[in-house]
């Protein structure tokens, strides 16, 4: 079984383009994932887990934790274009459905 923090570097290393931002769900809210993104100079857009605490002073994650604690996480997501992650997931779902071994007719 893969651990999320082990998968992220593999995904990023296979890409040849410069990535500006990575949007991911709460399961990627680990020190290891944030460390990989920082080393590659990629801006993380990862909402903190519900029990999140602040990390060292000046860490980019602290902004999201502050939004969580002040009940402004929805606003934070809008400011960070977090909704694009949902659009990408929907596109992948549709693509997988097209390639699935069974076709489903609605009419």
Give residue limits of the domains in the chain: 4-99
pLDDT at 2 over 90: no
pLDDT tens by residue, 26-43: 889 999 899 999 999 999
Tens of pLDDT along 87-102?
Answer: 888 888 888 888 876 6
pTM, two decimals, is 0.77
CA distance 50 to 91: 27
What confidence category does residue 4 fall into, taking pLDDT thresholds of 50, 70 and 90?
A: low
What element of type H or E holds 45?
A: strand 43-45
Q: Within its chain, how far is the Cα of 81 from the centroid?
A: 11
Predicted pLDDT at 6? 79
Higher pLDDT, 28 or 107: 28
Long-range contacts formed by 68-74: CB under 8 A, 24+ apart = 73/47
Q: Which of 45, 38, 39 minimizes the C-alpha distance to 67?
A: 45
Question: H-helix or E-strand containing 20?
Answer: none
pLDDT higher than threshold 90 for residue 64: yes
């Amino acid at each position: 079984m893969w651990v999320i923090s082990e998968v992220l570097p593999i995904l990023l290393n296979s890409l040849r383009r410069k990535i500006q931002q990575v949007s991911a769900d709460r399961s990627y809210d680990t020190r290891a994932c944030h460390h990989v993104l920082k080393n590659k100079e990629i801006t993380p857009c990862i909402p903190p887990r519900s029990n999140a605490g602040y990390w060292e002073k000046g860490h980019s994650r602290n902004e999201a934790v502050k939004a969580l604690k002040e009940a402004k996480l929805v606003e934070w997501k809008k400011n960070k274009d977090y909704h694009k992650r949902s659009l990408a997931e929907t596109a992948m779902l549709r693509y997988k459905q097209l390639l699935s071994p069974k076709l489903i007719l609605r009419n």
